[in-house]
Each structure stands twice: as C-alpha cells, then as structure tokens.
C-alpha cells in the first residue's frame, strides 16, 4: 500500500486511518442481541452486519495512542472524527497540536496549520484492498471478509466488556487482525486496537458517539488556506 513518504512522524496518522477504515463502519451503534457474555460469535456477527448496513455516518470524540516499538515511545493525541459512507473521513485533531486529515473518494489531505503545510495524494492509493473497497462502498459482508472470534485468553476486559478479534480473510491484506471492545451495557464499541508488521501499535478510544446525524458532504472537502505550502505526493 502506497502512503505518503515525507514527514513520516507527522504523516503516520494516515497509515492508522487507512487501517481503521475496515473497522469503523461497524463500530458506532448498539449490538442489540448480545444477551450473554459468551453468546455464539455467529449471533454477534449477524447483528454487527445489520448495524454496519444501517450506519450511514457518525461523529465521535477520540483519543489516539500510537506506540513506536523500536524506541518505546507513545504519542497521545485527541480530537473529533467524522465518517460518512462511502469513502468520506475527517479526523480533526485538537491536542497536543491542531491538524486535519481529510479523505474523500478523490483526494487525501493532511493539513498542518502551525507549519502552514498541506500534503495531498490521490485517494486511489489508499483504496487498494478489495475488502477495504467493499466496506467503504457499503457492500462488505463480515462473514465473507473476516474471521471473528472472542479474544484469548480473555473474552472480557477487567470491567466485563466484551473483547473480539477480527482477522481479514483477503490474501496479502495490509490489514492486520484488530481488537474491538464492546461495552457490556450499551453494546457500543469503546475501543479499537491493532499492530503493524513492525510491532508498532495504535489504540483508539471513542466517546460521545452520535450515529446517523446527516453529515454534509462538504465536510469532507478541503481547500488549503492562502499562504499554505502544498506538497503533492506520488
């Protein structure tokens, strides 16, 4: 998968965002029939699929923890994320520094206002996975695209919330298995975590979730302000 290569530290958020595309459209609505802690996974998948197909957009606050294994360093950032099906995404970071990642069907933009710099790339480069494309187009079927199991050795976290692992079935997929944490009372997804091939990890925690509010398409367009240097990436 081809990703921006300049300013790697600043642009690492793009790699995390791409990996999260597969997960997030099944994230923000209740799992209505999770009656028991160890209910058959097949039942959960059925309700996840129903939720996914009926979630057209959502907004949520997030906290992102990204750990680089080689130097044992963790960066913590936070902000608000917006999604709209298909292929629209906006990550608006507020802490510790403001920045904005905008993805739509045509373009990817990373805007760093303090540096007065914007990086852009054709969106086709991030839509190379067949699983990814199907999900963003609203055509994905969980049973066809993922193996879904309870996490081991623990199917519950310390608060009794449910832990699931999703593994893509697509050969040569750039997406590693990822974990989701399901709230035991509301059945909302509280957290997503995954590792890349180098062992670097990303964890996102969500709160104040608002699904299906009718987000406008213009939210996912970006025009660089005057005076901003623009770098077109291959």
Model pLDDT for residues 12-57, shown as the tens digit of each residue: 555 555 555 544 544 444 444 343 446 777 776 676 667 667 778 8
Instruction: Render pLDDT for 66-108 as a digit per residue (tens, 0 to 9).
Output: 999 999 999 999 999 998 888 888 999 999 999 999 989 899 9
Q: Is 193 exposed, middle or buried (0-12, 13-18, 19+ CB in 10 A)?
A: middle
Q: Strand 117-122 to strand 229-232: parallel, antiparallel, or no bridges (unpaired)?
A: parallel
Q: Does a structural domain hold residue 2? A: no
Q: How confident is the model at residue 15, as a pLDDT?
A: 52
What pLDDT band is residue 140 in, cutting at 50, 70 and 90?
A: low
Q: What angle is formed at CA 210 by the lines to CA 140 and CA 126, rounded to 5 degrees?
A: 40
Range of lowest pLDDT (35-49, 69-83, 186-200, 209-223)? 35-49
* Residue 78, token pair as written in the block: 């936070």
| Domain ranges, residue 127 | 8-226
Q: Does a structural domain hold residue 231? A: no
Q: Does a structural domain hold residue 232? A: no
Q: How confident is the model at residue 27, as a pLDDT?
A: 45
Q: Does a structural domain hold residue 162? A: yes
Domain count of the fold of the chain: 1
Q: Does a structural domain hold residue 84? A: yes
User: What CATH number is attached to the domain comprising 168?
Assistant: 2.50.20.10
Q: Does a structural domain hold residue 59? A: yes
Q: Does a structural domain hold residue 233? A: no
Which pTM value belongs to this model? 0.77
- Distance, CA of 105 to CA of 66 (rounded, Å): 26
- Distance, CA of 161 to CA of 181 (rounded, Å): 7
Average pLDDT of the chain is 78
Q: Does a structural domain hold residue 61? A: yes
């Amino acid at each position: 998968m081809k990703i921006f290569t300049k300013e790697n530290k600043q642009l690492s958020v793009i790699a995390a965002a791409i990996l999260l595309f597969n997960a997030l459209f099944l994230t923000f609505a209740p799992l209505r029939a999770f009656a028991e802690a160890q209910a058959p996974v097949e039942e959960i998948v059925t309700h996840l699929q129903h939720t996914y197909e009926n979630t057209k957009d959502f907004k949520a606050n997030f906290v992102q923890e990204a750990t680089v294994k080689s130097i044992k360093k963790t960066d913590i950032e936070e902000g608000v994320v917006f999604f709209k099906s298909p292929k629209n995404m906006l990550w608006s970071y507020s802490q510790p520094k403001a920045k904005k990642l905008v993805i739509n069907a045509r373009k990817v933009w990373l805007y760093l206002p303090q540096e007065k710099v914007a990086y852009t790339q054709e969106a086709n480069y991030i839509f190379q996975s067949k699983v990814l494309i199907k999900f963003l187009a609203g055509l994905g079927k969980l049973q066809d695209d993922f193996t879904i199991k309870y996490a081991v050795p623990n199917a519950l976290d310390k608060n009794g919330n449910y832990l699931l692992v999703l593994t893509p079935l697509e050969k040569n997929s750039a997406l590693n298995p990822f974990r989701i944490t399901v709230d035991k009372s509301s059945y909302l997804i509280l957290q997503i975590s995954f590792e890349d091939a180098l062992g670097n990890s990303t964890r996102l925690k969500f709160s104040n979730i608002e699904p299906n509010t009718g987000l406008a398409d213009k939210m996912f367009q970006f025009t660089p302000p005057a005076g901003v240097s623009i770098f077109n990436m291959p």
